[in-house]
Amino acid sequence: MSFKITSRAIDPADLKRSLETDSAGACVTFEGWVRDHNDGAPVVALEYEAHAAIAEQEGAKIVREALERFAVTAARCEHRVGKLAIGDCAVWVGVTAAHRGAAFDACRYIIDETKQRVPIWKKEHYRDGHSGWVNCATRTDAPAESPR
């Protein structure tokens, strides 16, 4: 599966191995990690939610587009959902190609399009107990969530 939504920890070494091929002279990977702040607010945890079926459908389309647009041999992406801690890997993209230029371009294309198009949502939990959905103007009465 070229684009996968997973609730398990992402294993970058294993994913990278799956792209190995003798014709590749370059491998570019991107890892998105959970950081401890956003817009100046201290973040203690993140929660990702997705519509898995549509996310995987749209994500596979993005990977196909990358394979068509750039001279690459293989590409895949995995995105994690559920509650993540600081430092966890939230998303992994890997691309192999004969030469580095196409691999960099395709990797960037996949992560940029994923952030724009794939139905995945991110909720930040802040140190002061509030939480909020990133990019959303629709506010839920924070802290509305009961502790889990």
Partner 1 sequence: MINVTARYFAAFRERAGRDSEALTTDARTAAELYAELARKHGFADSMTRCKVAINDELAPWDVRLSAGDEVLFFPPVAGG
Contact residues for partner 1, defined by CB under 8 A = 32, 48-51, 53-55, 57-58, 79, 90-91, 111, 114-123, 133-140, 144-145
Complex with partner 1: residue 54 or 71, whichever CB lies closer: 54
Smallest separation, CB 113 to partner 1 (Å): 10
Smallest separation, CB 7 to partner 1 (Å): 15
Complex with partner 1: residue 104 or 133, whichever CB lies closer: 133
Whole-number Å distance between alpha carbons of 43 and 98: 40
- Say if CB 90 and CB 79 are below 8 A apart: yes
Complex with partner 1: residue 48 or 73, whichever CB lies closer: 48
Query: 87-96 b/e with 16+ CB inside 10 Å = b?
Result: ebbbbbbbbb
| Location of structure tokens 């590409």 | 75
Smallest separation, CB 97 to partner 1 (Å): 22
